[in-house]
Amino acid sequence: MKYYLALLTASALALTACGGGSESATSTSNQEAPASNTATASASDTASVVASASQASSMAAECRITLDSNDNMQFSSKEIAIKSNCKDVTITLTHSGKMPKAGMGHNVVITKARDKDGVVSDGMSFGVDKDYLKPDDTRVVAATKLIGGGESDTITFPVSKLNKEEEYVFFCSFPGHVAMMSGKVVFVE
Ligand code: ZN
């Protein structure tokens, strides 16, 4: 635990250093790059710091995970990283967009990778009232409600529902969203 905390602190420092660097860059008046470019560069730097941290012990991996979604049909992450020693995992999905769920609804559905296509195509016919999921679909490990802009939903499920030898994915089951809105569920120490 101490080891993990130390890594967290180190990663936090690295991130802080990143942020500080980009702030001083933007405040320099003779900076040639437009502010938006600087922001993009800084975001990808941050992403690579997180990625390299996850090799050893991800700072993103927790028993509580928050994922945002938006009106551009995107999740805020392509990965849900769960610490292997979590007993339960809690996932909160937020929707920072403005569109209603009938037009731009999002949920987080977790299945085995090989079950994804079947769950999506079966769910489509059940409509927005059933969150675009077949009721009691046993292939679904966990799923939030379908939410619209400004809403959120939180689910908690035992990590024992996931077989660590299997490959799991998460996605949004709203028709047409899965291509843009899916990612991997991974375990990290
Ligand atoms: Zn969606």
The tens digit of pLDDT for each residue in 39-96 reads 444 444 444 444 433 333 444 568 999 999 999 999 999 999 999 899 999 999 999 9
Question: Rounded CA gap, 127 and 38, in Å?
Answer: 42
Token readout for 31 is: 């900076």
CA of 47 to the centre of ligand 1 (A): 23
Close Cβ partners of 132 (under 8 Å, ≥ 6 residues apart): 105, 107, 123, 124, 126, 146, 173, 174, 175
The answer to whether residue 27 scores a pLDDT higher than 60 is: no
Query: Which pTM was predicted?
Result: 0.69
CA of 120 to the centre of ligand 1 (A): 12
pLDDT value of residue 60: 54
Mean pLDDT (the chain, rounded): 79
CA of 11 to the centre of ligand 1 (A): 31
CA of 42 to the centre of ligand 1 (A): 27
Share of residues in the chain with pLDDT > 90 (%): 66
CA 50-51-56 angle, to 5 degrees, is: 95
